[in-house]
Amino acid sequence: MQSVKLRLTNRITMVDEVHEYIQKWEVDNGYSDKVLLLRIALQEWISNLLLHADFGDRPIEVILDTWVDGELIKCSIEDNSVGFDLEGENSDPTIVEHDGDRGRGLWMMRQVASEGLSYEPIGKSRHKLTLSIGDNPDLWDRILSS
């Protein structure tokens, strides 16, 4: 299957464009739990970019690319922010040291991307989040028990 790409540059319409992107994905590929998990991951990541990312004086640019690879849905999200240390973020709301309301989205993304999640620099002021979503039958139990 071919990948489906979307370039986002408008902070005001970005969330709506992502929702339309997922709706089109559902129409083209059918609805499944994996598509719901993709929706959650994209919504969380785009929200984090809009709320927390440092784009300096550059206009925002985010490029989504989603494709099916066997039984997995894979997605990459490139951005032109200065980036941050994904692995260094304490985002587990189930531990005492967790900082209140912050980090729940990253924790949720780690749960959703059961087959892999990474965020790496790909050039000067460019970063790429890559995630893979597979079957995750006990995900809802983990989320609801947190």
**Domain range summary for the chain, segments of one domain joined by +:** 4-144
- The string of DSSP codes covering 77-121 is EEE-S----TTT----TTSTT--TTTTHHHHHHHHH-TT-EEEEE
Q: Report the range of poorest mean pLDDT among 55-59, 71-75, 88-92.
A: 88-92
| Structure tokens given for 75 | 């997605």
CA 146 to chain CA centroid, nearest Å: 20
Indicate whether 145 pLDDT > 80: no
CA 59 vs CA 11, 38, 80, 84, 109: distances in Å: 10, 26, 9, 18, 26
Segment 79-128, tens digit of pLDDT: 999 887 677 665 555 554 555 565 677 778 888 888 888 999 998 889 99
For position 74, what pLDDT does the model report?
93
Global confidence as pTM? 0.82
Binned at pLDDT 50, 70 and 90, residue 77 comes out as: very high
- The CATH number that domain 4-144 falls under is 3.30.565.10
Mean pLDDT (the chain) is 83
